[in-house]
Amino acid sequence: MSAVEGDGSTGVPATLSARQLARRRRRESFLRSWRIFRRNRSGMLGLVILAVFAFIALAAPLLASSQGLEVTQATGGVLEPPSSQYWLGTDDQGRSVLTLLIWGARISLFVGLAATVISMVIGTLIGLISGFSGGWAGAVLFRLTEWFLVIPFLPLAIVLATVLGRSLFNIVLVIGVTSWPGTALLIRSQTLSIKERAYIERARVLGAGRWHQMSRHVLPNVMPMVFANTTLTVAIAILAETTLSFLGLGDPTRVSWGSMLDDAFQVGAITTGAWWFIVPPGVCVVLVVLAFTLIGQALEEVLNPRLKGR
């Protein structure tokens, strides 16, 4: 649309400015990718599952009153099995499991997405700089990435969470700063291959500085890769949140799927057979993580047609 408006009142553009041209090209390539993506059945399945959970998380206040989260306002009995009043039974405090599940979606998705943003920013920056600038800076950053890669993720996250304390912000931070090395390596290898292309050399010959080359030429070309990697990272971040909360390292004031499972385990829901307290949160985690994984794989396929049919 902006392409048409470009020339003002006449409505017919004589020529398109470089920026408009680029925008149009980008939109076309996006639509092309979307058409390929739509043909991918598992990718679309992932998208549908994700849409459902995104709706639940956003509409949580409409679906269930937040008063249902207050232990003091609990109306049900202890670990009541599912009934017409409590569709998924109650927890050990008499709260509706369904209410907890709906509100837990918010925390689990928020932590997953926020941690991924941190991880992507660190990973992309380090990968880009270490790939683009050779010499000692690149070497140091590459070494740093390799080092962070060998530190086992869960122990480091546990230690960090213990040292920093238990809060929502800290758990996001911990997952974010421990999950970037994989992204950095991927972006680095992409950058290394893009760096050798002719148009970068052309830009360099025309006098483009390092910053211009990196931000205007390399970054837009690694962005699709970042995007595909992001969805896979969200899956890992949500799993990490669940595990850390299960180990009692989550924010004690918020309900997430992981903290529900921690509660269920602590009160012995397994031995008492209170399956409604154990199965639903786990199923939600599996569905959301699976959705992100399927979308990520489908995106990789769109970007790299060689992978088709995997």
Contacts to other proteins by CB under 8 A: 143, 146-147, 150-156, 158-160, 162-165, 235, 239, 242-243, 246-249, 261, 264-265, 270-271, 273, 275, 278-279, 282, 285-286, 289-290, 293-294, 309-310
Return the number of the residue (207 or 309) whose C-beta is nearest other proteins. 309
User: How does 130-160 read in b/e, with b if 16+ C-beta sit within 10 Å?
Assistant: bbbbeeeebeebbeebeebeeeebeeebbeb
Element (H, E) at 243: helix 219-246
Closest distance to other proteins from the beta carbon of 141 (Å): 14
Cβ contacts of 269 within 8 Å, gap of 6 or more: 79, 92, 275, 277, 278
Tokens of 280: 């639903």
Closest distance to other proteins from the beta carbon of 278 (Å): 6
Q: Report in angstroms the alpha-carbon separations of 228 from 62, 78, 235, 264, 296.
A: 32, 44, 12, 35, 5
Q: From the CB of residue 222, how many other CB atoms can be counted at a distance below 10 Å? A: 23
Return the number of the residue (64 or 122) whose C-beta is nearest other proteins. 122
Return the number of the residue (219 or 247) whose C-beta is nearest other proteins. 247
- The alpha carbon of residue 140 and the mean position of all alpha carbons in its chain are separated, in whole angstroms, by 28
Return the number of the residue (59 or 286) whose C-beta is nearest other proteins. 286
Closest distance to other proteins from the beta carbon of 106 (Å): 19
Return the number of the residue (69 or 241) whose C-beta is nearest other proteins. 241
Note whether 138 and 129 are within 8 A (CB).
yes
